[in-house]
Amino acid sequence: MAREYHGKKSTPEYHTWKNMRRRCCDSKNQDWHRYGGRGITVCPEWRSSFTAFLGDLGERPTSKHTLDRYPDRDGNYEPGNCRWATPAEQARNSSRNHWITFKGQTRCLQDWATELGVTHECLRKRIKAGVPLIGRLRDPNRCRHGHLLAGDNLYCMPMTSNQAGTRICKTCKREDMARFLIRRGKRRGG
């Protein structure tokens, strides 16, 4: 390998490049079993040239960005399969994620929880308890009873409320009030 002179030896990108090569090419590296030991390689251009690596990826957008293999997290380090990613993007690309397909879309558990307005832990517990998938992941534009949350059937709590922005189904609210009045009437003997 010809020696390169690029003046970037002390940059974070250079250290990332060196560490990428070590993980994939050095069987004595502590992380080799997760990279090179699994058959993940560095393309020949990048393995032999930091300048080629930097030319393809560019500099990190911010100090929080790190190297990520994407879209194929099990693929090699090569142009078209690497990016600078934020910690949140890296977390979404982890092989440890629980992936769920619902209504033709595959997302990680955290993304579904965020969209549905529940915590990651709540959704995980429901899955573990064996609640049917359709019961866990309902359409966010419908209430828990399936009524459409739009137009005349939607009420949003005012910003002055401690439940500001909460969407309430007016049909369910009317039905709850009717049940309450019937129960109250029975208690009074009416």
Distance between CA atoms of 93 and 28, rounded to whole angstroms? 26
So what's the pLDDT on residue 156?
77
b/e burial code for range 51-73 (CB count within 10 A of at least 16 → b): ebbbeebeebeeeebebbbbeee
Inform me whether the pLDDT recorded for 1 exceeds 60.
no
Which has more confidence, 145 or 189?
Answer: 145
Nearest alpha-carbon partner for 59 in 83, 94, 93, 26: 83
Distance of CA 26 to the CA centre of its chain: 31
Helical ranges in 37-128 per DSSP H: 44-48, 50-57, 87-92, 109-116, 120-128
Task: Kindly report, residue by residue over 120-151, the tens digit of the pLDDT.
Answer: 887 888 778 777 665 555 666 777 677 787 88
Which has more confidence, 144 or 40?
Answer: 40
Distance between CA atoms of 41 and 62, rounded to whole angstroms? 26
Nearest alpha-carbon partner for 77 in 24, 30, 117: 24
